[in-house]
Amino acid sequence: MLLTPGPTPVPEFVRKAMADITIHHRTPEFEAIFAETRELLFELYGMDEVVMLASSGSGAMEACITNLTHKKALTINSGKFGERFGKICKAFDIDYSEIKNEWNTPVSVESVLEAVKADSDIDAIFIQLCESAGGLRHPVEEIAAAVKEYNKDIMIVADGITAIGVEKIDVSNLDAVITGSQKALMLPPGLAIIGLSNDAVSKIEKKSRGFYFNLATEIKKQRTNTTAWTAATTLIIGLREILSNIKNNGGFDALYEQTALRASATREALLAIGCEIYPKTPANAMTTIYTENAPAIRKILKTKYGVNIAGGQDHIKSLIFRINHMGLVEDNEASWAVNTVELALDELGVRTFDGTASKVFSTKMFKGN
Ligand SMILES: *Cc1c(COP(=O)(O)O)cnc(C)c1O
């Protein structure tokens, strides 16, 4: 049972759709598939423009840094992925400053506003909707609203790699929202997507940058249902399949609702057996538990019960475990996961097993309280 917050399991109907013969990307057949996928992405994002890139999510992060920073970037670092935005700036010699917090702590609206007011060179802000390193939700929409009120020309770039497909995002003040294929979209890795505002498109067109990740070139091509370079045809076919499946089975809002319910049922169940939630503001993409027993718990889950969950990275590598909620996770899988954590705590002599986790999960998930 793969319950890591990315990669997530690829559903069988998606694997089947991707098993067909490879079609040439410069054909009317593929252009029709591309057009349909684009339409579905417009529905998913609710933004003015959208581009697909043949890369992992980090490629889209790089494209946004290079194409949307014309002067100086402000990066928000509450974990591995926020830190990455800064590393990209460094690699391209792009001027940036960073607001750094502990991995369980969201950035405050005030500190971002203060930073942009103190430095008029900042023309783009880079932040995670969900910082996956600790499962933390940043107040991105509030920050975006406050910054836009101060200066509407500052670009707000949100990494939504573990947020798009998880929850409804208010994109009204966002200029770019990034996602990747292997998290909530349940595809193999290798495809990145960026939703863009008209303001972002204008800025990109004013000064186009780079070659492979030149967004001006991509926008122009993708508006005619083709790509600048060879498209990731198989992954795009898979993307059309997963998005139309979600749409035809209750729609995106129903998926967000199920994910939110599963996340809160999981959290309540784990709190009830004495677990500590790591982030101060948890995102619905995953549940992150802080415990020194994390490695031992993960080992028991994997070897004894066949449940694969994630640990941490860097300084909290062996201090947290993360359970995924993204995608089409079955209720019985999530229920089994909390039950096995309770069994592991019993085996480790932390707490005697009495079925509490399972009971609390089911009561919340299926009885609604
Ligand atoms: C996984 C992840 C990334 C990195 O994406 P890759 O596809 O590994 O390049 C970036 N940001 C967040 C929030 C992620 O969860």
Cβ–ligand 1 distance for 180 under 6 Å, the answer: yes
Ligand 1 pocket test, candidate residues 166, 183, 186, 325, most atoms within 8 A of CB? 183
Average pLDDT over residues 176-201: 98
Q: What is the pTM of this model?
A: 0.97
Centre of ligand 1 to C-alpha 141, Å, is 20
Q: What average pLDDT does range 59-70 have in this prediction?
A: 98
| pLDDT attached to residue 66 | 98
Going by pLDDT thresholds of 50, 70 and 90, the confidence category of residue 217 is very high
For 60, other C-beta atoms within 10 Å of its C-beta total: 27
Band (369; pLDDT cuts 50, 70, 90)? confident
Q: How far, in Å, from the CA of 235 to the mean position of ligand 1? A: 17
Residue 89 C-alpha to ligand 1 middle, in angstroms? 16
CATH C-level class of 12-248? alpha beta
Place of tokens 């909390």: 338
Q: Which CATH architecture has domain 251-367?
A: Alpha-Beta Complex (3.90)
Sheet holding 122-128, edge to edge: 49-53, 192-196, 176-180, 155-159, 122-128, 72-77, 96-100
Name the average pLDDT for the chain.
Answer: 97
Rounded distance from Cα 133 to ligand 1 centre (Å): 10
What local confidence, expressed as pLDDT, does residue 120 receive? 98
58 lines ligand 1 (CB under 6 A): yes
- Confirm or reject: Cβ of 81 under 6 Å from ligand 1: yes
For the packed helices 233-248 and 28-45, what is the interaxial angle rounded to 10 degrees? 50
Residue closest to 242 by CA, chosen among 11, 21, 81, 38: 11
Separation CA 325–CA 344 (nearest Å) = 20
- Tell me what pLDDT residue 13 has: 97
How far apart are the CA of 187 and the centre of ligand 1, in A? 14
CATH 3.40.640.10 in the chain, residues? 12-248
Residue 57 Cα to ligand 1 midpoint, Å, equals: 5
Pocket flag, ligand 1, residue 159 (CB < 6 Å): yes
Q: Which amino acid type is present at position 158?
A: A
Q: Does ligand 1 come within 6 angstroms of the Cβ of 128?
A: yes
Whether the pLDDT of residue 368 is over 90: the answer is: no
- Which residue, judged by its Cα, is nearest atom 14 of ligand 1? 161
Amino acid at 254: A
The pLDDT value given to residue 208: 87
Q: Could you tell me the distance, in angstroms and rounded to a whole number, from the CA of residue 38 to the centre of ligand 1? A: 22
Instruction: Indicate whether 292 pLDDT > 90.
Output: yes
Task: Tell me what percent of the residues of the chain surpass a pLDDT of 90.
Answer: 98
**What's residue 343's pLDDT?**
98
Nearest CA to ligand 1 atom 12: 161
Which ligand 1 atom sits nearest the alpha carbon of residue 129? 13
Q: Is the pLDDT of residue 268 over 80?
A: yes
pLDDT attached to residue 260? 97
Residue 142 pLDDT > 80:
yes
22-50 average pLDDT score:
97
Instruction: Give the ligand 1 atom nearest the CA of 189.
Output: 7
CATH 3.90.1150.10 location in the chain: 251-367
Task: Kindly state the average pLDDT of the residues 91-112.
Answer: 98
Write the pLDDT tens digit of every residue in 221-250: 999 999 999 999 999 999 999 999 999 999
Average pLDDT over residues 12-37: 95
